[in-house]
Amino acid sequence: MKIFVIGSKGQLGWELCRRGKDRGFDILGLDLPEFDITHPSQVQSQVNGKGIFLVINASAYTAVDQAETQEELAFKVNCDGPAYLASSCARAKVPLFHISTDYVFDGTKKTPYKETDPVCPLGVYGKSKADGDERVRTLLKEHIIIRTAWLYGVHGNNFVRTMLRLGRAQEELRVVCDQYGCPTFAGDLADALLTLAGSLIKGEDIAWGTYHFCGKGATTWHGFAKMIFELAGKHTSLRLKELHAITADQYPMPAKRPVMSALDCSLIEKRFGISPRPWQEVLKNIMPHLLSDDH
Ligand SMILES: NC(=O)c1ccc[n+]([C@@H]2O[C@H](COP(=O)([O-])OP(=O)(O)OC[C@H]3O[C@@H](n4cnc5c(N)ncnc54)[C@H](OP(=O)(O)O)[C@@H]3O)[C@@H](O)[C@H]2O)c1
């Protein structure tokens, strides 16, 4: 009963492979250059491969700002790729777990987004992900789409790593304080997906559909950075002189981001008993690993 993990070198894919193997699952992890989700023949032959029981797609084009000028590539990876996957899975009768993003929402809601809220992406990345999700829903009934947010892990590039790197090089930093979201540790998301995989393997009924999973509680990028430096200061000599709170208008980026993209995770909790941990508690636990891996 093999689980095929796509995007195995990314933040989430790496955690899925590591934690999946620790749980005793038979994991086949592939990524670029040996496997390209935008090549339909490669997708079909791997999904049809012997003994594939479940596909988890953790691959994506995740460069939110670059996507504004690389629209074709973003749509190829985030929309066409998942469509090839979903149709191959349908033919092979294999379920698919696919990952999506809080950036499918426009951020105008005042309370955390529910799975049923209408999507309205602000940028190319969000549009490409929203379209990819829709293709998966249309082509394959046996799918789980998990929307997550503000992902960071011990492997790969992310906001935590960027803050630590900049904090070592500069005395003062300016970080946006008027965008709200939920920091999510990639290891926790991997565990949630593997718990669902375990239920499937046991033959339990799965309520297919779209779910939200992210760290519990919302903060701003500035609040996230403040916590990063507080924790880093406890473990290392890193002391930032000043962390300035600025508005998104003062830090223009190519892609527009939602002002509020917190996700309501009550459905995954209710249906599967999967409860996200408070983001501060997780970051506290993971910080020593992030620091020991940070060069
Ligand atoms: N990062 C976040 O803050 C965030 C927030 C919300 C949702 N998500 C979603 O969560 C999922 C996992 O994100 P992540 O942060 O783990 O992503 P990541 O670290 O960027 O990893 C994605 C992996 O996919 C690979 N990939 C790109 N194009 C591919 C292709 N054509 N065929 C096969 N593999 C390809 C990448 O390879 P290269 O590095 O060589 O391109 C990379 O190894 C994605 O669906 C993402 O949209 C992420």
pLDDT digits (tens, 9 = 90+) for 259-278: 999 999 999 999 999 999 99
Q: Which amino acids bring their CB within 6 angstroms of ligand 1?
A: 6-7, 9-13, 31-32, 35-38, 58-62, 77, 81, 99, 101-102, 129, 148-151, 156, 186
Q: Any idea what DSSP says for residue 271?
A: H
Which of 4, 151, 265 to mutate to test ligand 1, by most ligand atoms within 8 A of the CB atom? 151
Q: What CATH number is associated with residue 28?
A: 3.40.50.720
| Cα 238 from Cα 287, distance rounded (Å) | 13
Nearest alpha-carbon partner for 172 in 105, 246, 121: 246
The percentage of the chain sitting over the pLDDT mark of 90, rounded to a whole number, equals 98
Distance 222 CA to ligand 1 centre (A): 24
Q: Any idea what DSSP says for residue 178?
A: S
Residue 192's domain spans which residues? 2-154+184-215+263-277
- pLDDT of residue 295 exceeding 50, the answer is no
User: Is residue 256 domain-resident?
Assistant: no
User: Is residue 73 domain-resident?
Assistant: yes
| Cα 157 from Cα 147, distance rounded (Å) | 19
| Cα 79 from Cα 125, distance rounded (Å) | 10
pLDDT digits (tens, 9 = 90+) for 131-169: 999 999 999 999 999 999 999 999 999 999 999 999 999
User: Is residue 220 domain-resident?
Assistant: no
pLDDT digits (tens, 9 = 90+) for 193-229: 999 999 999 999 999 999 999 999 999 999 999 999 9
pTM: 0.97
Q: Is residue 125 annotated as a catalytic residue, yes or no?
A: yes
| Cα 121 from Cα 51, distance rounded (Å) | 37
User: Is residue 33 domain-resident?
Assistant: yes
User: Is residue 177 domain-resident?
Assistant: no
Are residues 269 and 192 in contact, defined by beta-carbon separation less than 8 angstroms?
no
Residue 293 pLDDT: 61
Are residues 189 and 241 in contact, defined by beta-carbon separation less than 8 angstroms?
no
Residue 49 pLDDT: 83
Active-site option among 103, 113, 125, 211:
125
Nearest alpha-carbon partner for 15 in 188, 162, 161: 188
- Positive or negative CA dihedral for 153, 183, 137, 141? positive
User: Is residue 40 domain-resident?
Assistant: yes
**Number of domains making up the chain:** 1
Residue 140 pLDDT: 98
- pLDDT of residue 292 exceeding 90, the answer is no
- Positive or negative CA dihedral for 62, 65, 69, 71? positive
